[in-house]
Every structure is written in structure tokens, then in C-alpha cells.
Amino acid sequence: MPYAVELLNITKRFARTVANDEVTLKVQSGTIHALVGENGAGKTTLMETLYGLYQPDAGIIRIHEKEVSIKSPHDSIRNGIGMVHQHFMLVGPMTVLENIVLGAETTRYSLLDLKKTTAEISELGGRFSLTVPLNEKVENVGVGIQQRVEILKAIYRKADILVLDEPTAVLTPQESTQLFRILSELKDEGKTIVLITHKLSEVMAISDHVSVMRRGKIVGEVETASTSPEELAEMMVGRRILLRVEKNDRKAGDPVLSINNLSYIDKRGVNILNNVSLEVASGEILGIAGVEGNGQSQLVECITGLLKPTTGSMSVDGIQIAGLTPKEVFARGLAHVPEDRIKRGLVVEMDVAENLILGLHMQKEFGTGLAMNLKAIEENARFLITKYDIRPMNPDALARGLSGGNQQKVIIARELSRNAQVIVASQPTRGVDIGGIEFIHRTLVEARDAGKAILMISADLNEILSLSDRIAIMYGGQIVKIFPNNKVKESELGLYMTGSKRGSSQKASDG
Amino acid sequence: MISQIFSLAFLAQTIRITVPYSLASLGGVYSERGGVVNIALEGIILNGAFCATVGTYYTGSPWFGLLCGIAGGLLVAAIHAVISIHVKADQIISGIALNLFAVGITKFVLQILFQSSSNSPRIAGLPYIKLAFLKDQPDVEHLLGNPLVLLTVLIVIASHFIIFKTRFGLRLRSVGENPEAADTVGISVTLYRYYGVLISGVLAGLAGAWLAFDQHSFTDGMSAGRGYIALAAMIVGKWNPLGAAAACLLFGFAESLQIQLQGGSLPTQFIQMIPYLATIIVLAGFIGKSAAPGADGIPYEKEK
């Protein structure tokens, strides 16, 4: 089969680092080619070079077996390349239609010919089951739709080579399934697709070939049919990786965190949380599964004192915490790994040592009165950096410069060093690479084995299934069902998550 | 008394004040829709007025003066564009610097050319279109017959279509809202931002020319804060051409009301508050949240 894309010996350097080191990647026409690797392996840089956002320092790009010069996205679009970026490149206040035609407008009497364009896009949308509300503003539609807009944008420009960068990172399992169906249809129409991802189950499910990148180099290329997730993970990380979490059965102790009939009504009067009741016992991980936006974030914010619940009560070890400030809640034995590490977990302009004592800075060991005990802060940092394997191993490094996985480790190190009874962990491994995920999962299981009560919220069903002792499903601001983990199938969880099935009672039995 | 206040002369007064506001305010719309904050409007107006005066004085042709006014506005806008878009400096600082610079340079050249630090000699105004039905009110006729009034109305309406219905407008808005998105579909962020700022130079330069012809001379600092009022109108009008023009009309109305009411029984100080009171009430009470373009004031860095 002929090649649609050939990247030959591409080298791209940034100030001090080599992002792509003589990378050669060949993609056969009409196939789905997965490009996998850990964060920072150079996958995105390679594809953005193909798309003309970067100029390679050396190397040749061939499209459909002809050498081309790609100096800007304009050139790559002309060569039939389309790219769906990880962070969508959409203009929020403009309509879906305007976003699709932007840069490739049709005009009539020098005005935009939206009528003709609407017809064209509707036809395209129908052909690939990419239905989108054309006259809605992009900022008012969900991420799943926004992604379709991005794909339509590329197809509308007649792209026959489509690059997608981590397309499922923001999608629910249902949306991901839909996306894969669309990608298969595009492939059937003869389009070539390059899929950047680090989720190996996706690679196995949809791709024809896989290339693995590590530290700026291609370390392997295989046919999907002849490989396994374990083999790919080993290539990605450079050592054997446990994709399963090793976890012993363990008898849970007494309830530590209890939530009773918690409700939250927001400023607009919308009922976000509706009589939520939960108990998390010492020595167990309770996983909350659910499609994002069903009240999980607000539940966590109510527990941690960031929001004031409208009604209901909560206690840690019998002590009431409802309505207290975050500082007071933490003083009563709670730790919090927030879902958005940049916004809530870290101060990225401060260094690692400082981030490791955020919220602990009032403790006597780190300072009294006006003076901080810099030595104690640094010692604390060195201890935690070693214990949690945070790279670079430098307390003075700015948090901004760390990879997502290492930023997350800083937060987990800090929160576990509180030695709290209850740990609330929201999306603990979002955007973290495989090596980091393994480490964070192991750490959480160790904390559970040490008798902590862990409430984990995750949009990643695999994570929920592999870590939780019990699984609670949230839908429409309610806990619709609680299962013991060993008695549930993924498909059944999905039915509850989408609201097509509901539990018989609020306080579902523990099995 | 009401009929005395709301006379034809009152209407003319309102329009006289509104025209330069509207032109400058539209300039602001183009610049900021493209993502460049243009506080320099004030300086652009002043330099436009000065160049229009000089051009008219030396050639005797107000039409040539008009072109000079536009060129003078363009010049200041071009400096602002280079500083904001190429050098990626802080746009507010650049704007303030240019405003101060315009005050100094116009005064300086005024001194050299006309040996006066306060005003230029008298210049001719633009010829007006004769309006038969206003024959007995020459002041009003001169004003309503001024081709710039008609031009302003046309520019306002055309701008609405240009910004919201054309390819150019779509691209201009995209570089102001999300330059990265524009860049990834092959639109030159730099080019469109230059267009936006340069158009603001043309329009605010015209506003300056209007002031010069209206007073038949240049006086020191004659822009008198109009650039800032135009920016406020742009915000009240939510960065829309029609909205900005409507806000300017409101300001013009309030200001001419203030002029009309002076000498009456109300205390002058109270009357002078009217335009500003109107601004605050409109901003707080009727407009609601006014959101600037997403990347307004933020230089675009290509390789992060």
C-alpha cells in the first residue's frame, strides 16, 4: 500500500532539549496509525511539525510520495492535512458554522455565503454521522460536539490525512465510542488517520499500526494485530509495567467519612446535588463513577469546604464538617487532591518545596511568627521528592516546569504527608502518563492498606474498576447505585452512568 | 421650554458632537476586535486634527486636508501597531505614551509653523451640500449638509456588515478572540491585527479632521478626552459597530443637553454631570455584562 505520510529523519530542537531526534514515521494510506508514548515523548511536536506549526531543524516530509515544503498550517491544509489539537482551536463566541468555515470561506457579493456553506456542511455531516448544531455558539456546546466541529473543520478543507491529538482525553466513554465509529467511517472513505494517544486500550481497539515514541525517538513500530498492551507499555516506558493494580482484599473498618442527605442548590437555583448519602470506611477506596458534570465536582467542593451545602450533614470521625472553611475541614483530618491541578492544586509560579507545604505552612515545624523555617521546608521537600520519585529531584524547580505526572505527584505527596484520616482524590491521574499512573495507583492502594478512608472520583472507568473496593455511580446529582466492586460489569456501570438504569433506592445496599 | 431645547439646532448640536465620537469609537471596534487595545485613539484624533489643519492651511484645499488628517491618524496608529504587534509590548503603555507624545509633538510643530503654542490660523471648512429646506437656518444646513456626516452614517452601517458578514470580519474577529485557532487554519494573525489597528487610525484620523474643520483651526489639546469617551462608548456598545454608534449618540445627546441647559436655573456643576451620569446609568443599568474579545490586549506568541 502507498504511503500517505512519510516523515524522514525529522529533528526538532527547542532551546536545550531535542524534542524529535531523527524521527522517521511512515503512515500507509487509508489506515489508522496510532502514535503512542508518554507525555513529553515528542508525539505532539512531531505532528505539529507535520502540520506546519513548527519548522524542523532537519528532515524531509513527503505527502503521497511527493516531497513537500510545509512552512505554515496554510501549506499543510493545501496538502490535505487536517489536525484536531488536544486543546481545541475554536473561537468560543462564534457559531459552529463560522468556526468550520473560518479561513476557508465562500463568499457571494463579498459577503459570506452561509447558505451555500450550510448545505455543504450538512451534507458532510450526514455522510460521516457528524451532526452539529450549526448556528449555536461553540462556547455553548459540549466538548464532544466541539470535537466534531474540529473534525468537520478538517474535512471541510478536504483533508484526507487527519491527525488527532489525544482525542479521548476530554470525552466520556460513550462519546469515545462514537468518535471511534466516526473514525472507522472516515477510514472506510479512504482517509488516513494518525491518532496520538497514551491509552493502550484505544490503540488495540481501533488502529492498524502502532509507532511508539520515547524521549524524542521512535522505539518501535508494529502491527496492532501482532502486539499486546503489555508489550506496548514496555516499549513506551522502557521497563516492564504493571497495567493491573495489585491489590489484596482487605476488610474495611469503621466508617470515617459520613455524608447524610447532602444537597446543593446553586446561585441560579439549579439543584446540583440531591440528597447524597455516602459512607467511606477506614481501609477502603470508594470510587465515584459517572459522566462528568453530574455533580461530582460540587460534591467534592462541598466536602472540602469550598462550597457551602444547602442542606445535609457531613462528618469525619464523628466530627461535623458541613459548612466549615477549607482550613477548618483540613484541620479535622481531611486531605484533598483536586481535579484541576493547575487551578487548585499548585501555585505553578512557586517552586516545588513551597508547593509541598501549601496549606501546611502554618504548622510550627515550617515556621513561627513571620519567619519561615527554610531549612525545614527544604528537608521536607527532599524527603518527599525522594519518597514519591518527583523529577527533577530539585526542590527549587518551578512547579510550572514539571510534567503533568510530576505535578500530580507533588500534590499527592503533600496531601498524604498531612497524615489525614480521609483522602478525597478527584481525577487523580488525569493527563498523567503510564509510569506516573502506576505509581499514583500504588500509592493510593498503600494508603488504603494503611487504614485511610479514600473517596476517589474519576471519569476513567478503568481506574474506578481497578482501584475501588466499592463503586458509587452518580447521575443527575444523585448517587443512583452503589456496588461492591467484584460484583459488577463495565457495561452495567455504563447503563447507570447514562441514566438508562436507576437503583431501587437512594441508599443502595452494600451487596 | 421643552420645544426650545429639542429644536433643530439641538439636533444639529447632538450630531456635531456625535460624529467624531462615532468615528473614533468604530476605530476602537476594529482595533479591539482584532485583539489590540487602542488607547492611542486620543493621540490619533489629536494628530489627525493637526495634520488636517496643516494640510488645509498650506494647500487651501480642505479635501487635501482631509487626506492629511487620515494620514496623520494612520501614522500614530502604525506606530502603535508596530509596538503592539511586532515588539509585543504592553498595549496600554504604548497607547498612553503615544497620547502624551501627540500632545507634545503637535504643540512643538505648531510653534515652529505658526509661532503660537495655542492655536493655528483659521482654515476653511469642508464644502457642504445645499439643503433647500434648511435655507433659513444656515448653521444647521452647514452641519447636516457636511459630507462627513453622511459618510459617518455610511461607515457605521457598512462596519456592521464588514465585521459580521464578510470574510475579512470573520477573520478579524477570530484573531481577536483566539489567535491560535486562527493561526492553525492558516490565517495570519499579524496581518489581520495590522489591518484592525490601521483602520482605527483612518477612522480616528477622520474624527480629528472633523474637529479641525468644525472649529476652523487647530487648538492645543483639542481632542480633549474624546478618544477615551469613544473607548467607553465602544465598551457600552459591546464592541459592535451599531452599539458603539448608538452609545456615541447617547453621549452626544447628553452633552448637548448639558450645553443647552447651561444658563438656566439649575446649578452649572449639576448640569455638567449629566453626560457622565448618563454613562454610569447606562453602563450599570441597561447594558449588562459587556465582554471584550477573548485575546484583547494580549500579544500573540507563536511558539510557546
For residue range B150-171, list pLDDT tens digits in order. 999 999 999 999 999 999 999 9
* Per-residue pLDDT, A14: 84
Question: Rounded CA gap, B4 and A303, in Å?
Answer: 67
Three-state secondary-structure class, residue A24: strand
Which of the four pLDDT bands, split at 50, 70 and 90, describes residue A507?
Answer: very low
Summarize pLDDT for A147-195 with one digit per residue, the tens.
999 999 999 999 999 999 988 877 777 788 889 999 999 999 999 999 9
Higher-pLDDT residue of A85, B266: A85
**DSSP SS3 for A12:** strand
DSSP alpha helix (H) spans, A422-498: 434-449, 461-467, 490-497
Q: Tell me how far the alpha carbon of residue B90 is from its chain's centroid.
A: 22
* Cβ separation B183–A53 shorter than 8 A: yes
Helices B41-59 & B189-215, crossing angle to 10 degrees? 50
- Among A372, A399, A371, residue whose Cα is nearest residue A385: A399
Q: How far apart are CA B188 and CA B173, in angstroms?
A: 12
B163, B167, B174, B183: best to mutate for the A interface, most A CBs within 10 A: B167
Cα–Cα distance between A320 and A338 in angstroms, integer?
A: 21
- Count CB-CB contacts under 10 A for residue B281: 10
Contacts made by residues B272-277, CB under 8 angstroms, sequence distance 24+:
B275/B251
Query: What does chain B come to in residues?
Result: 304
Torsion from C-alpha of A470, A474, A479, A485, nearest 10 degrees: -20
pLDDT class of B42 with cuts at 50, 70, 90: very high
Question: What percentage of chain A has pLDDT greater than the value 90?
Answer: 63
Query: Helices (H), strands (E): how many in chain A?
Result: 16, 24
Q: Give the residue among A123, A174, A172, A132 at the shortest CA–CA distance from A151.
A: A132
Residue-wise pLDDT for B13-22, tens only, equals 999 999 999 9
If you average pLDDT over residues A427-455, what whole number do you get? Answer: 91
Instruction: Return the residue matching grid coordinates 477502603.
Output: A284
Residue ranges in A305-459 assigned as alpha helix (H): 326-331, 352-355, 374-387, 404-417, 434-449
Chain-chain contact of A112 with B166 (C-beta, under 8 angstroms): yes
Lowest-pLDDT range, A12-16, A184-188, A284-288? Answer: A12-16
**What's chain B's average pLDDT?**
91
Identify which of B180, B186, B303 has the shortest CB distance to residue A72: B186
Q: How far apart are CA B62 and CA B68, in angstroms?
A: 9
pLDDT digits (tens, 9 = 90+) for B62-101: 999 999 999 999 999 999 999 999 999 999 999 999 999 9
Name the architecture of domain B2-127+140-287: Orthogonal Bundle (1.10)
Using a CB–CB cutoff of 8 Å, tell me whether A77 touches chain B.
yes
Interchain proximity A73–B184, CB inside 8 Å: yes
Is the pLDDT confidence value at B304 over 60? no
> Minimal CA–CA distance to B191: which of B161, B168, B166?
B168
Residues of B in contact with A54 (CB under 8 A): 303
Domains of chain A (ranges, CATH numbers):
3-237 (3.40.50.300), 251-333+422-511 (3.40.50.300), 348-419 (no CATH)
pLDDT in tens, A70-96: 999 999 999 999 999 988 999 999 999
% of residues, chain A, pLDDT over 70: 98
Query: Between residues 29 and 58 of chain A, which touch chain B (CB distance below 8 Å)?
Result: 51, 53-54
pLDDT band at A445 (very low <50, low <70, confident <90, very high): very high
pLDDT of residue A505: 43
Inform me whether the pLDDT recorded for A504 exceeds 60: no
User: Is B238 touching A (CB cutoff 8 A)?
Assistant: no
The pLDDT-based confidence of B1 (bands split at 50, 70, 90) is low
Q: Helix (H, G, I), strand (E, B), or coil: what is residue A167? A: coil
Q: How far is B232 from chain A (nearest CA, A)?
A: 22
Interface list for A 260-279 with B (CB within 8 A): none
Q: For residue A343, what are the contacts with CB-CB under 8 A and spacing of at least 6?
A: none
Q: pTM of the prediction? A: 0.80
Domain ranges for chain B, please list them: 2-127+140-287
The Cα–Cα gap between B152 and B19 comes to: 7
Cβ–Cβ of B165/A112 closer than 8 Å? yes
Which amino acid belongs to residue A415? E
**Residue-level pLDDT at A510:** 40
Look at residue A216 and tell me whether its pLDDT is greater than 60. Answer: yes
Q: How far is CA A411 from CA A19, A381, A395, A460, in A?
A: 27, 12, 14, 19
3-state secondary structure at position A371: strand
Q: Go through chain A and tell me how many residues it has.
A: 511
Can you list the alpha helix ranges (DSSP code H) found in B186-298? 189-215, 226-236, 241-261, 268-272, 274-281
**A334 - beta bridge partners?**
A422
Bond from prior residue into A392 cis (ω within 30 degrees of 0): yes
Q: Scanning every residue of chain A, which has its alpha carbon at the shortest distance from the alpha carbon of B188?
A: A74
The per-residue pLDDT of chain A, averaged, comes to 89
**Other beta carbons less than 10 A from residue A87's beta carbon:** 11
Instruction: Name the pLDDT band for A511 (thresholds 50, 70, 90).
Output: very low
Question: Which residue of chain A has the CA closest to B295?
Answer: A91
Q: Can you give the pLDDT at residue A503? A: 67
Rounded to an integer, the average pLDDT of A499-511 is: 55
Dihedrals phi, psi of A109, to nearest 5 degrees: 50, 40
Higher pLDDT: A126 or A277? It is: A277
DSSP B13-50: HHHHHHHHHHHHHHHHHHHHHTT---TTHHHHHHHHHH
Q: Is A153 touching B (CB cutoff 8 A)?
A: yes
Contact A103 B186 (CB under 8 A): yes
The SS3 of residue A132 is: coil
Residue A67 above 80 pLDDT?
A: yes
Strand partners, A192: A161
Please enumerate, as own/partner, the contacts of A53-57 that have beta carbons within 8 Å and a separation of 24 or more: A53/B183, A53/B184, A53/B303, A54/A12, A54/B303, A56/A10, A56/A11, A56/A12, A56/A20, A57/A11, A57/A12, A57/A13
DSSP 3-state helix, strand, coil percentages of chain A (rounded to 5)? Answer: 35, 25, 40
pLDDT for the residue A56: 93
Q: Is residue B5 very low, low, confident or very high in pLDDT (cuts 50, 70, 90)?
A: low
Q: Coil, strand, or helix at residue A502?
A: coil
CA torsion sign for A230, A235, A241, A244 is: negative
Report how far apart, in Å, the C-alpha atoms of A34 and of each of A21, A156, A163, A224, A426 are. Answer: 19, 23, 10, 9, 29
| Residue B209 to residue B123: CA distance in whole angstroms | 12
In B, which residues are within 8 Å of A92 by CB distance? 177-178, 294
